[in-house]
């Protein structure tokens, strides 16, 4: 089963989302968390670190990443496992270094979050961000 890992980079009460390019084959023209496929032999956190560097040019501190949500989408051979992580420590300034994948990146407050591809991940993210502010 294919596995996807995504990161919610959170800074000063905001989360960074990427807007998937309209020409993407899967989930075009929507906002979502940055991330990608886990390669064979790779751990979730190793894939998370690699994807954040490839897509945003940052190096995350994996030891501080917290599991946010895990879900399985699809049925049978079409199933995909998603894992979302909350990340609040990284080196570098997030930049769109994958313009073929995303046409924009933007910071959002919880109350401003647009719909995401998978609503359970959005719900978990909003709850985690509100808890952090309480």
Strands in the chain per DSSP E? 3-11, 14-20, 31-32, 35-37, 59-60, 66-73, 80-87, 90-91, 102-108
Q: Hey, where are the domains in the chain?
A: 3-133
What is the predicted pLDDT for the residue at 5? 95
First to last CA, the chain: 38
Q: Report pTM.
A: 0.90
**Distance between CA 98 and CA 41 in Å, rounded?**
24
Strands in 21-127 per DSSP E? 31-32, 35-37, 59-60, 66-73, 80-87, 90-91, 102-108
What is the predicted pLDDT for the residue at 108? 95
3-class state of residue 108 by DSSP: strand
How far is residue 123 CA from its own chain's centroid?
Answer: 14
Which CATH number fits the domain 3-133, given the four candidates 3.40.1190.20, 3.90.79.10, 3.40.190.10, 3.40.50.620?
Answer: 3.90.79.10
What is the predicted pLDDT for the residue at 133? 62
pLDDT digit string (tens) for the chain, length 134 residues: 789 999 999 999 999 999 988 888 878 788 999 999 999 999 999 999 999 999 999 999 888 899 998 888 877 777 888 899 999 999 999 999 999 999 999 999 999 999 888 888 889 998 888 887 65
């Amino acid at each position: 089963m294919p596995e996807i890992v995504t990161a919610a980079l959170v800074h000063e009460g905001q989360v960074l989302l990427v807007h998937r390019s309209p020409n993407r084959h899967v989930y075009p023209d929507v906002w979502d968390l940055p991330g990608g496929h886990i390669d064979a032999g790779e751990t979730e956190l190793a894939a998370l670190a690699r994807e954040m560097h490839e897509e945003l040019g940052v190096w995350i501190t994996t030891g501080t990443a917290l599991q946010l949500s895990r879900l399985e989408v699809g049925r049978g051979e079409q199933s995909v496992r998603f894992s979302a992580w909350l990340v609040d420590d990284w080196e570098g300034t997030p930049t769109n270094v994958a313009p073929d994948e995303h046409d924009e990146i933007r910071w959002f407050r919880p109350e401003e979050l647009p719909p995401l591809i998978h609503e359970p991940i959005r719900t978990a993210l909003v709850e985690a961000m509100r808890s952090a502010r309480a």
